[in-house]
Every structure is written in C-alpha cells, then in structure tokens.
Copies of this chain bind each other. A is one copy, B any other.
Amino acid sequence: MKPIPQPVKDFVGSAPVCRLATVRSSGEPHIIPVCPAFDGEATLYVDIARAGVSAKAAASNGSVTVLIDEYYDDWSKLKAVILRCRAEPIEGYEMDRAWELFRGKFPQGDAIGWSARLSLALRIRGWTEWGITQALPYQPE
C-alpha cells in the first residue's frame, strides 16, 4: 500500500463519523454510519452491534470498505477518503487501546453506558482520496 499522507491521516483521525460498507452473505451490500477511532497509522477501530447486519456480514466476508467524507453545497470543497480494509475482531491489549481512543474521542458515550459490543480493527489495505491533497470537480468513483 502507498503510504497515507499526513493530511489524509488527520482527516481520518478527526472524523466523528464514517460510513462502513459490508457485503451480506446474500451478496447485497450494507452500510451504516459508525463512530471511528484511528490509531494514526493503518488501523481504524469501530464498535458495532453484535447481532446487527454489519456484524453478520463482516463475519462472513472480512472485506469491508469505509468512506469518510465531508459534503458541501460548494462542490469544489468536497472531501473524501475511501479505505479498503480487512475487518478483525479486537483482542487483548489492542481492545484496551481501542477503547482508550473511543473514550477520549467520544465522551458522550459514557452518558449512555457505551461499552464494547463487537469491536473491530479495520486494517487498511488500500485507500483513495479527493479534495484533501488533490482537487477534483466532484467524486470520480
């Protein structure tokens, strides 16, 4: 994988929400919004419902894709990063690290008793971006 430029890392790290796409065993895609925490290198952590569609889909097909984007009515300002990832359940030490990141980034979770459901490490294997280090008229994918 080509290295992720710092401005793209900053964009990914600061995003309060991302959209996670998975493929169901039926072959249909699924998408949900989810709050991500980035390790600053090549892993994005998410915590999703244990019995939800996304969890079942990721268990049967670990290839998942994440979109982090900002929409503006001025289309010259559109920004997006697409991350192609492999999903893995988190274990041991990494679980503590992920939840340290979640709790630091999303203090509002405490008020509703947010704690680990199915916490996944999304290992980034490829990426594309527009509007961050390169300007494009509108999304090209």
Contacts and interface: CB of A to CB of B under 8 A. Distances in A.
Interface of A: 16-17, 19, 21-23, 26-34, 48-49, 52-54, 61, 63-67, 69, 71, 73-75, 78, 80, 82, 84, 108-109, 112, 114, 137-141
Contacts of A109: 75
B138 A19 contact: no
Nearest to A56: B141
B31 A65 contact: yes
A47 to B, nearest CB: 10
A49 B112 contact: no
B33 A71 contact: yes
Contacts of A65: 21, 28-31
Contacts of A75: 108-109, 112
B138 A30 contact: no
Contact of A29 (B52, B53, B64): B64
B141 A69 contact: no
A10 to B, nearest CB: 19
